[in-house]
Amino acid sequence: MDLLRIGEKLISPGRIERAVERILHLRSRGHSQQEVAEQLGIDRTFISRLESLGEVRKGGRLALIGFPIGNKEEIEAVARKEGVDYALVMTDSERWEFAEERSGVALANELMVIFSKLRDFDTVIFLGSDMRIKLVEAMLEPGAVLGIELGKSPMQEDKYVDPLELQALIRSLMGNFS
């Protein structure tokens, strides 16, 4: 057990870590700051400051969907780096494989699951053809979809997406202009 001496106090960093994990666990489960403070016998403002210390971004939940993307790995890396909550990016061959390896019913069910997940997001950036953008906009909440047209339908080849432009867009949506 590692202990630190600070003046007259003997401090256990492990105990602090466990307490912070407990606070964040309760908060992520929907408990208010006040409820957690009362349950753990601490000041509510401490919880607020703790959350501010660890805050990565403010703003709504963001999803990124895109196909057919030629620089898929690069786009996924931007999404991870910028804290996108959900990303589904496919090359042209991957999207055809996704569709062809499932029966009609299984494909319909899988798409329903994906669209059900997308309804949990405040904004969905959709990178795709003109026709696919219209379809996604029709299936989700009005104003929730930010469509980036990669070409006219039907598209049959991978398209390059500028990672710096995508990064700037994500940052503007999240309120992070740095």
Domain shared by 84 and 50, yes or no: no
Average pLDDT over residues 95-123: 93
Whether the per-residue pLDDT at 177 is higher than 60: the answer is no
- Tell whether 106 and 83 lie within a shared domain: yes
Q: Give the residue from 54, 71, 89 where a domain finishes.
A: 54
Indicate if 47 and 69 belong to the same structural domain: no
State pTM to two decimals.
Answer: 0.68
The predicted-structure confidence for 57-90, as pLDDT tens digits, reads as follows 566 889 999 999 999 999 999 999 999 999 999 9
Ramachandran bin of 146, using left for φ above 0, alpha for ψ from -120 to 50, beta for the remaining angles: beta
Q: 161: which residues sit within 8 A by CB, 6+ positions away?
A: 66, 69, 70, 71, 75, 127, 148, 150
Question: Are 147 and 103 in a shared domain?
Answer: yes
Q: Are residues 67 and 45 in the same domain?
A: no
Q: Are residues 91 and 44 in the same domain?
A: no
Q: Tell me the residue range of the domain where 18 lies.
A: 4-54
Percentage of residues of the chain with pLDDT beyond 70: 95
How much is the pLDDT for 53? 83
What's the confidence (pLDDT) of residue 102? Answer: 94
Domain CATH code at residue 17: 1.10.10
**So what's the pLDDT on residue 96?**
94
Query: Which pLDDT score, from 0 to 100, does residue 55 have?
Result: 63
CB distance 92 to 155 below 8 Å: yes
Residue 93, CA distances (Å) to 67, 68, 101, 123, 158 in order: 10, 8, 12, 27, 9
The CATH number of residue 105's host domain is 3.40.50
Structural domains of the chain, count: 2
Looking at the fold, whether 112 and 140 belong to one and the same domain comes out as: yes
The answer to whether residues 49 and 74 belong to one domain is: no
